[in-house]
Chains A and B, each alone.
Chain A
Amino acid sequence: MDLMQILGIIIPTAIFAAAPLILTALGGVFSERSGVVNIGLEGLMMMGAFIGAVFTFYGETWGFGSASPWFSFVMAILIGAIFSLLHAVASITFKADQVVSGVALNFLAAGLTIFLVKKIFDAGQTPYLNERIFKSDVPLLSDIPIIGPLLFGKAYVTSYVAIALAFVVWFIIFKTPFGLRLRAVGEHPMAADTMGVNVTKMRYIAVMLSGAFAGLGGAVYATSISGNFTHSTIAGQGFMALAAMIFGKWHPLGALGAALFFGLAQSLSITGQQIPLLKEIPHVFLLISPYVLTILALAGFVGRADAPKAIGKPYEKGKR
């Protein structure tokens, strides 16, 4: 097996596995840049995966055909944003500990999604989806020699949407007045308030955006990777996305890079069996590699990265 074949297995799988992580991590960037910790990404993603599976299923029965997953994405974005309001209300308005409120959101999503699945389908899981996001060659680009088949052959459209959105989010956060206000609120809410920025409103918008992105991430996971929703569909991907965001130093493009890296690590644990050298390594090392690498990376060269200054602190008007 030559190098090209090995890369041909690893790289498309990495990009494929990274898409939900990229989207969710971007959501995390919005929330944390505004100063609100979002441990609840896991729960938001779970909600998104649930909505993705349910609405794709109903989209099929309502005759949406191959547009069903895309219909479910819209629903996941909307419901993810609405669901994240719980975290926003608790942590912004009621000044709850943001980590605790995020943990509660995860609990709630875990209970609520399975409760609803049992209520709707009378079973512990949703049926398998017929209309999923499938692999396709990108026209023209996949004809480029060498990198064409690697990057654009047998690819999932959602992966490119995720990568493109990373650049969009970068533009929004660093090149628009909205992004400037968002960052100001996360760094020094009182200064921002003095300059006439509505801190509460900005934070609500940021948390809802994180819900929208994480919801989309979850829905992409359900419609491309898992194909249905059970209690174990989202098992840690939200936390991985959170780690990717921190790994990427709260920067959209950094998060993109970190998510792709995690995708690569995950794809190694999936495809490792087919690759000569990696086949010799016990499977468990491949399984734990994303997590160990994260810890090492945080301890090594990302440890000094600065989080937004006001992160985790509720803003009280007039309090120094």
Chain B
Amino acid sequence: MQKLLFKLSVPVIAVALGLLVGGIIMLTSGYEPIKAYTALFSVIFTDSYFIGETVRQMTPLILSGLAVAFAFRTGLFNIGVEGQLLVGWLASVYVGIAVEGLPAFIHIPLAILAGALAGALWGLVPGYLKAKFMVHEVITTIMMNYVALHVTNSIIRSYLLAPGERTEEIQSSASLSSMFLQEITDFSRLHYGIVVAILGAIVMWYLLWKTTTGYELRAVGFNQHASNYAGINVSKNIILSMCISGAFAGVAGAMEGLGTYQYMTINAAFTGVGFDGIAVALLGANSAIGIILAAGLFGGLKIGALNMQAVAQVPPELITIVIALIIFFVASSYLVHWLRNRINRRGKI
């Protein structure tokens, strides 16, 4: 019990410190932190539109967080979630547009699967290069992000362009949007994707903790040499891990395509959802339940920031700063350990 409490204390302290420093930054640059934070938190708990938007924002964050966490569990660092998300987005939207005449219960899974497959393919490249040539996945995944950005834009521009620098809208049979969910949330863009995201979290938990494959993947993450000695195929597991991670990221993209937007735009820059996944995974301690909670927090902060700007004129970028600080503090958990040791020692003497 005490161990669990201590585990929880790191993210909680990190969030509190992040918000505190964010408040100090607001104060020193002439804004009113209390007014701003009140505006931020009040709406995401009370206003049905903001609640709906928060849940919508959580959906891709959960999935990209799962993608990062899955790779982390096997000792890999997937910064390529952003690129995998983009190709997944495009693939799912393509299936959503091009395939006609299917009932929704086949069309939707098919489109999501297309997204997952595209993401997995994009993860395969860095996984393969890592396993076969020892190329560091951090560099290859970063490079693959840019390739994805330019390639998806170019494909849309050449083959799928509709007025407004985007693709056509997907068939309604592939859409995750729901009139019912929109109506009960004051016409936010909430869609059924949250169900998919939570299923994704369950899949990750089951895969990692209840299957032999998951055991092997985690073993490779702990110690490659020992795993190799124990007869686990390390290369295969590295490639598999990057593919599964990429598949989660691809589904995150599919949620944007089939749920929030119903189409894909030509992106001038990255969406940022993939990078936010790193923050979500870290704060959620790479566990399925932690990721859902962390995605809730970051989703809420991002959506609430809009109201913060409306009420207290604070630029929403402040929330990016707060998120960055939270990552710093989570990463520096050594600080929390050190503080705890100091306090313990003093308590004993």
Q: Which residues of A contact B (CB under 8 A)?
A: 39, 86, 90, 94-97, 99-101, 103-108, 110-112, 114-116, 118-119, 231-232, 235-236, 239, 242-243, 246, 282-284, 287-288, 290-292, 294-295, 298-299, 303-304
Contact = CB atoms under 8 A, between A and B. Distances in A.
A99 B137 CA distance: 12
B325 A108 contact: yes
Contact of A243 (B142, B154, B334): B142
B331 A112 contact: no
Contacts of A112: 317, 321
Nearest to B125: A295
A261 B269 CA distance: 24
Contacts of A97: 331
Please name the 3 residue pairs, one residue from A and one from B, whose CB atoms are nearest each other, closest first. A111-B320, A107-B324, A108-B324
B269 A299 contact: no
A114 B29 CA distance: 13
Contact of B136 (A106, A118, A246): A246
Given A284-B154, A291-B147, 11 more contacts: A95-B334, A96-B333, A99-B138, A103-B278, A104-B331, A111-B317, A236-B142, A282-B154, A303-B134, A303-B135, A304-B134
B24 interface: no
A96 B317 contact: no
Contacts of B146: 236, 288, 290-291
Contacts of B270: 235
A100 B331 contact: yes
A101 B331 contact: yes
22 contacts: A39-B138, A90-B331, A95-B332, A100-B331, A103-B278, A104-B331, A108-B328, A111-B324, A112-B321, A115-B321, A119-B315, A231-B269, A235-B269, A242-B139, A242-B142, A284-B153, A288-B146, A291-B144, A291-B147, A294-B143, A295-B140, A299-B135
A110 B320 CA distance: 8
A179 B342 CA distance: 37
B116 to A, nearest CB: 23
B49 interface: no
Contacts of B29: 115-116, 119
Nearest to B269: A232
Nearest to B135: A298
Nearest to A294: B143
Q: B interface, how many residues as a size bin?
A: 35 or more
Contact of A283 (B154, B323, B330, B331): B154
A239 B279 CA distance: 19
Contact of B315 (A90, A103, A114): A114
B126 to A, nearest CB: 8
Given A108-B324, A292-B147, A94 B335 contact: yes
Given A115-B315, A246-B139, A284-B150, A99 B320 contact: no
B293 interface: no
A150 B25 CA distance: 49
B142 A239 contact: yes
Contacts of A232: 268-269
A115 B327 contact: no
Contacts of A298: 129, 133, 135-136, 139-140
B199 to A, nearest CB: 28
Contacts of A243: 139, 142-143
Contacts of B207: none
B77 interface: yes
Nearest to A246: B139
A243 B136 CA distance: 10
A91 B153 CA distance: 37
Contacts of B322: 111
A99 B76 CA distance: 11
Nearest to A247: B139
B147 A288 contact: yes
A114 B317 contact: yes
B282 interface: yes
A90 B328 contact: yes
Contacts of B184: none
A282 B268 CA distance: 18
B333 to A, nearest CB: 8
B318 A111 contact: yes
Interface in B154-173: 154
Contacts of B268: 232
B319 interface: yes
A170 to B, nearest CB: 23
B275 interface: yes
Nearest to A303: B133
B245 to A, nearest CB: 16
B20 interface: no
A103 B142 CA distance: 12
B279 to A, nearest CB: 7
B155 to A, nearest CB: 8
A108 B319 CA distance: 10
A239 B146 CA distance: 10
Given A94-B334, A114-B315, A101 B129 contact: no
Given A100-B282, A282-B154, A111 B275 contact: no
Nearest to B338: A94
